[in-house]
């Protein structure tokens, strides 16, 4: 957990007063906040939250052994935790109080001296936009931080991420760490779960960006309307100061219309509907596409234009970069400074997003994190436009996750490729063969004549995929992206789709690609 190295203490009595709790026991000094008894530092406030099966307060004794100064929990948790011998703050809703407690301990209230907060939400593109923002801010000479599903970054210091959006205690600790490191702007990927599970409580965004809303997370939200309503609060005056909203998906228009904060809109030619493109304040138009990247022109009010290249293929990546640029401008960065720094080339690392892992000869192999029908469609189309030969799609589906999107994943794969190979992804506790069966049946239903292969495990699937293509063809392996593990029955097994792809190419007699980027964690 990234936390400040020089925390200032706060008395338990003062903290209790700030969050509306009742304190008992010694008036201890608190210097941090943690929801994990095993990941806390001496002086932390341990927050015991009732879970599905156990109450977090059951771990209060372990927290005390690890140096916790006090416990924050509910009345039931207080009875459980009393034997640990720590002072206790009792509140009705510890989950709801977590953000306010962390904000008070770390002094990260919206009016405190903290970095600019640039959030990005949506179904697809929020991770890419956040990484692009970090790279572009750095290109401007700004000391930047970032938080995504891949990593947490503080002024160049990087750690692997756990949750897409960290718990409120970790988030506020990161902000405090950034203040110590003189970070000027913090780019954050904000998921729907971050809102509904209250992980971004106590945060007010200087600019909130919206990419799109498509079929995803129905296992959590049930339908599109509920999913939309999970995101919509981010575009209220209680949560954000202003917003930049892409009109590339239909619900972008609704977000822009219903927001009660100043909204600037952006749209991408060829992705947005024609009328949405015409009414947008800013527009993105692709000027060229190549394996090395995508050129585009960003056009805005008062004749502002910027011609540059994003180092990833696809119009959707140009859209993400354009959104990030406008967010920086809305955050107060001077347009001349932005256009001068970014003209011609954006220098950013976007982990696992249409990452080319093949060499200059033979088939092109891309590894991508996309795992929704919309992501499949856009990425396959991008690969198609830079591929002279056939396109092969290799993918699997998550186990124990939204099952309602599986048919559309197969449909999109079949419609966008010449050959499809279906394999395993993260089966988790679901039967991998059953997942593949659903995907195969959907593929045959969409097009009975389409060439489709079922190969398990993925190590064998990529070897099969490489055997089916030749020079001038391309393979898109969607799903694993930057991840370095597979989740099987609760165990994370070491696994790299990038390295497996390179190995399969070499075994087939093709050169593997040289890395033209820097992965802080290796492969």
Q: Are residues 122 and 102 in the same domain?
A: no
493 in any annotated domain: yes
Check: CB of residue 221 under 8 Å from CB of residue 178.
Answer: no
Q: Are residues 120 and 102 in the same domain?
A: no
Consecutive H or E run containing 46: strand 44-47
Q: Are residues 391 and 300 in the same domain?
A: no
* Domains contained in the chain, number: 3
Q: Are residues 392 and 478 in the same domain?
A: yes
Of the three residues 106, 136, 164, the one that is the final residue of a domain is 106
* DSSP per residue, 488-511: ETTEEEE--HHHHHHHHHHHTTPP
pLDDT in tens, the chain (523 residues): 789 999 999 999 999 999 999 999 999 999 999 999 988 999 999 999 999 899 999 999 999 999 999 999 999 999 999 999 999 999 999 999 999 999 999 999 999 999 999 999 999 999 999 999 999 999 999 999 999 988 888 988 888 776 667 899 999 999 999 999 999 999 999 998 899 888 999 999 999 999 999 877 677 788 989 999 999 999 999 999 999 999 999 999 999 999 999 999 999 999 999 999 999 999 999 999 999 899 999 999 999 999 999 999 999 999 999 999 999 999 999 999 999 999 999 999 888 788 899 998 999 999 998 889 988 999 999 999 999 999 999 999 999 998 999 999 999 999 999 999 999 999 999 999 999 999 999 999 999 999 999 999 999 999 999 999 999 999 999 988 878 889 999 898 988 999 999 999 999 999 887 544 343 334 4
Q: Are residues 329 and 366 in the same domain?
A: no
Flag whether the pTM goes above 0.75.
yes
Residue 483, pLDDT score: 82
Check: CB of residue 213 under 8 Å from CB of residue 122.
Answer: yes
- Within 8 A by CB and 6+ apart from 514, the residues are 359
Residue 163, pLDDT score: 63
| Structure tokens that stand for 105 in this block | 């301990």
Of the three residues 106, 138, 153, the one that is the final residue of a domain is 106
394 in any annotated domain: yes
Q: Are residues 89 and 154 in the same domain?
A: no
514 in any annotated domain: no
523 in any annotated domain: no
**CATH number (domain holding residue 269):** 3.40.1190.10
Domain of residue 224 covers 116-342
Q: Are residues 333 and 411 in the same domain?
A: no
Residue 521, pLDDT score: 33
Q: Are residues 436 and 330 in the same domain?
A: no
* DSSP per residue, 277-346: HHH-SEEEEEEEEETTEEEEEEE-GGG-EEEEEESS-SHHHHHHHHHHHHHHHHTT--HHHHHHHHTT--
**CATH number (domain holding residue 463):** 3.90.190.20
Residue 517, pLDDT score: 39
512 in any annotated domain: no
Going by the DSSP 8-state scheme, the letter that residue 262 receives in this structure is -
């Amino acid at each position: 957990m990234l936390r400040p190295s020089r925390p200032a203490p706060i008395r338990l009595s003062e903290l209790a007063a700030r969050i509306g709790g009742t304190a008992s026991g010694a008036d201890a000094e608190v210097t941090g906040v943690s929801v994990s008894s095993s990941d806390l530092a001496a002086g932390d406030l341990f927050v015991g939250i009732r879970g599905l099966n156990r109450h977090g307060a059951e771990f209060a004794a372990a927290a005390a052994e690890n140096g916790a100064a006090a416990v924050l929990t509910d009345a039931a948790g207080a009875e459980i935790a009393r034997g640990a011998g720590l002072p206790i703050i009792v509140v009705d809703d510890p989950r709801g109080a977590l953000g306010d407690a962390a904000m008070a301990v770390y002094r990260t209230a919206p009016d405190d001296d903290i970095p600019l907060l640039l959030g990005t939400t949506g179904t697809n593109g929020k991770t890419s936009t956040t990484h692009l923002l970090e790279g572009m801010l750095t290109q401007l000479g700004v000391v930047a931080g970032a938080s995504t599903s891949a990593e947490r970054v503080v002024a160049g210091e990087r750690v692997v991420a756990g949750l897409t959006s960290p718990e409120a205690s970790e988030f506020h600790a990161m902000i405090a760490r950034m203040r110590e490191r003189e970070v000027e702007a913090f780019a954050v990927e904000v998921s729907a779960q971050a809102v509904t599970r209250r992980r971004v409580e106590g945060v007010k965004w200087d600019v909130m960006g919206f990419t799109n809303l498509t079929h995803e997370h129905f296992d959590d939200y049930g339908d599109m309307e509920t999913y939309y309503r999970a995101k919509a609060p981010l575009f209220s005056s209680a949560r954000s100061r202003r917003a930049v909203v892409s009109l590339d998906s239909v619900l972008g228009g609704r977000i822009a219309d219903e927001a009660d904060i100043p909204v600037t809109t952006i749209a991408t030619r060829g992705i947005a509907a024609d009328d949405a493109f015409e009414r947008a304040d800013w527009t993105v138009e692709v000027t060229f596409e190549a394996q090395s990247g995508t050129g585009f022109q960003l056009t805005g009010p008062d004749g502002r234009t910027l011609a540059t290249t994003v180092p990833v293929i696809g119009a959707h990546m140009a859209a993400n970069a354009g959104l990030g640029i406008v967010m920086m401008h809305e955050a107060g960065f001077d347009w001349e400074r932005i256009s001068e720094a970014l003209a011609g080339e954006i220098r950013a690392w976007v982990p696992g997003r249409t990452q080319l892992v093949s060499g200059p000869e033979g088939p092109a192999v891309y590894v991508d994190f996309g795992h929704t029908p919309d992501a499949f469609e856009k990425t396959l189309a991008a690969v198609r436009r830079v591929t002279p030969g056939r396109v092969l799609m290799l993918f699997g589906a998550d186990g124990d996750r939204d099952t309602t999107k599986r048919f559309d994943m197969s449909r999109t794969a079949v419609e966008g490729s010449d050959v499809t190979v279906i394999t395993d992804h993260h089966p988790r506790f679901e039967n991998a063969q059953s997942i593949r069966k659903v995907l195969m049946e959907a593929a045959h239903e969409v097009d009975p004549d389409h060439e489709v292969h079922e190969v398990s495990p993925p190590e064998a699937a990529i070897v099969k995929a490489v055997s089916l293509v030749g020079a001038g063809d391309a393979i898109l392996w969607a799903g694993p992206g930057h991840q370095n593990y597979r989740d099987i029955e609760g165990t994370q097994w070491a696994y790299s789709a990038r390295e497996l792809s390179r190995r399969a190419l070499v075994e087939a007699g093709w050169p593997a690609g040289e890395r033209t980027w820097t992965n802080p964690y290796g492969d």
